[in-house]
Amino acid sequence: MSNHIVFRTEPIPEDIENIRRIVVSTSFFQDHEIPVAVELVEERLAKGLESGYLFIFAEIDGETIAYACFGEIACTKGSYDFYWMATHIDYQRKGIGKQLMDGVQEQVKNLGGRVIYIETSSKEQYVPTRKLYENYGYKLEAVFKDFYDIGDDKCVYSYKLDK
């Protein structure tokens, strides 16, 4: 194994199962969330850029091991949602998530974006996720109490891009 990471932005049909495999491996997502992650790449494959979903995939030796999904928020000028990011459990804590975040920020900036929004759960298991966002310069903008479930708030972060 070379451990040389290659990034690509065009989804391929195999990414339907790649995303399912990656998301399941993390044990972070509930069973009802997994089809949503897969549905976004299915929609992109069916509709192309018109779907509104953009991707970055990370591969090592031809195996897709991580991905990020993002897109412009409808009816806004330069606001983007960072929908999903997941790294296969075998490749976590190796800086791949940071590289994906760099890639998303670079692409959004190149597309004329001015701000990226990302949301996550307040659950204890998401402390490392929230710390990653905060360490990356994302600012906590809002907390929606009991959004996902009782005791599971939605935390919304933003990152303003330099022009």
Give the other-Cβ count within 10 Å of 81's Cβ: 18
Task: Please check whether residue 130 is in contact with residue 85, taking contact to mean a CB–CB distance below 8 angstroms.
Answer: no
Burial 124-154 (b: 16+ CB within 10 A, else e): eebeebbebbeeeebeeeeeeeeebeeeebe
3-state secondary structure of 142: strand
pLDDT of the residue at 76 = 93
pLDDT of the residue at 163 = 59
Domain limits for position 18: 5-160
The CB-side HSE value for 132 (13 A sphere, CA atoms) comes to 21
pLDDT of the residue at 1 = 46
| Tens-binned pLDDT, residue by residue, of the chain (163 aa) | 457 899 999 999 999 999 999 999 988 777 888 889 999 999 999 999 999 999 999 999 989 999 999 999 999 999 999 999 999 988 888 888 889 999 999 999 999 999 999 999 999 988 988 998 998 899 999 999 999 999 999 999 999 997 5
* CATH number, residue 42: 3.40.630.30
pLDDT of the residue at 26 = 86
Burial of 27: CB neighbours in 10 Å, binned 0-12, 13-18, 19+: exposed
- The predicted model scores a pTM of 0.89
Q: How many domains does the chain have?
A: 1
